Amino acid sequence: KPLAGPFILGINGGASLGVAMATLIVGSLANVGLAGAAWLGSCLIMMAMLAVAGKIKDNTTLLILGLMFGYAVSALVSVLIHFSTPERIQQFVAWSFGSFSSVSWGQLSLLVPASILGSGAAFIMAKPLNALLLGESYASTMGVPVKRVRILLIALTSFLAGSVTAFCGPIAFLGVAVPHLCRGAFKSADHRFLVPACALVGGNLALCADFIAHVPGSSIVLPLNAVTSLIGAPVVVWVVFRSRRKEEM
């Protein structure tokens, strides 16, 4: 699924719902509690997407459903905001813009091990993912436990997206754009190469976006989501046109 990503499939939205419930209802939580709420929210949305994906074969329909899940989550967040206090609303809105500047050393002590653990697990799954590129039937004949790999991949995606979203906010489009940029730049679909490449390119691209968001030479700070959307949206358009060209050929 070329456009599948944490943002479009609603995983980031689920993490946002978890953080919204923790922030707007409970109030301030410890770092572990905030990360747990984000992970739980992203996992619930991803499990719902998995249940739907088993009954739908059309990729476009699946992506549309992912967007609908995102809209439903946004509606729930709006309801929570309506009944919350101004102080908690301000805290949540500031978080929802996305930023790296508010991440503390205490949060990094949780985020760095989680990122290393998740990236290492993704690298270990590189061979089964390479087999799945040729189709589930082929992967099964090669001895790949397709259902188990799918569940592990969903749990891993939810864990990574939820951990980052909890502390940095919902960063849009990088999860969709970076893999395609890496495939195009390095001319490879091997996950043993793509996993570390996406981590390095994605990290550097996120830092560049954060640098631009701070508007060098000015006191203005733009929402990080606005900058990443300007980077990622053209890539999504390019992927759509490329997929249509392949279908026509």
Residue 16 CA to residue 106 CA, distance in Å, equals: 21
| Structure token pair of residue 33 | 């509690």
Q: Beta-carbon neighbour count of residue 208 at 10 Å?
A: 13
What pLDDT digit, counting tens, does each position of 4-60 carry? 566 666 777 787 888 888 877 776 666 667 777 777 887 787 777 777 766 765 556
Cα first-last separation, the chain: 18
Contact criterion met (CB below 8 Å) for 197 and 190: no
pLDDT at residue 125 is higher than 60 = yes
| Cα gap 7→67, rounded to integer Å | 9
Q: Find all residues with CB under 8 Å of 39, minimum gap 6, and list them.
A: 15, 18, 158, 159, 162, 163, 166
Alpha-carbon distances of 157 from 187, 188, 212, rounded to whole Å: 24, 22, 27
Nearest residue to 110 via CA among 44, 160, 46: 160
- Cβ atoms of residues 233 and 174 within 8 Å: no
Q: If you compute the radius of gyration of the chain from its CA atoms, what whole number of angstroms results?
A: 18
* DSSP 8-state symbol, 21: I
Phi/psi class of residue 155: alpha, beta or left (left: φ > 0; alpha: ψ in -120 to 50)? alpha
Per-residue pLDDT at 94 exceeds 60: yes
Domain ranges across the chain: 11-248
pLDDT in tens, 141-156: 888 888 788 778 777 8
Residue 98 contacts residue 88 (beta carbons within 8 Å)? no
| Choice among 26-30, 83-87, 120-124 with the minimum mean pLDDT | 26-30
pTM listed for this prediction? 0.73
Hunting for tokens 């930023």 — which residue is that? 99
What mean pLDDT is reported for the chain? 79
Helix (H/G/I), strand (E/B), else coil: 174: helix
Distance (Å, rounded) from C-alpha 238 to C-alpha 177?
10
Q: Are 213 and 224 in contact (CB under 8 A)?
A: yes
* The domain made up of 11-248 is a member of CATH 3.40.50.300: no
Which token pair is 79?
């309801």
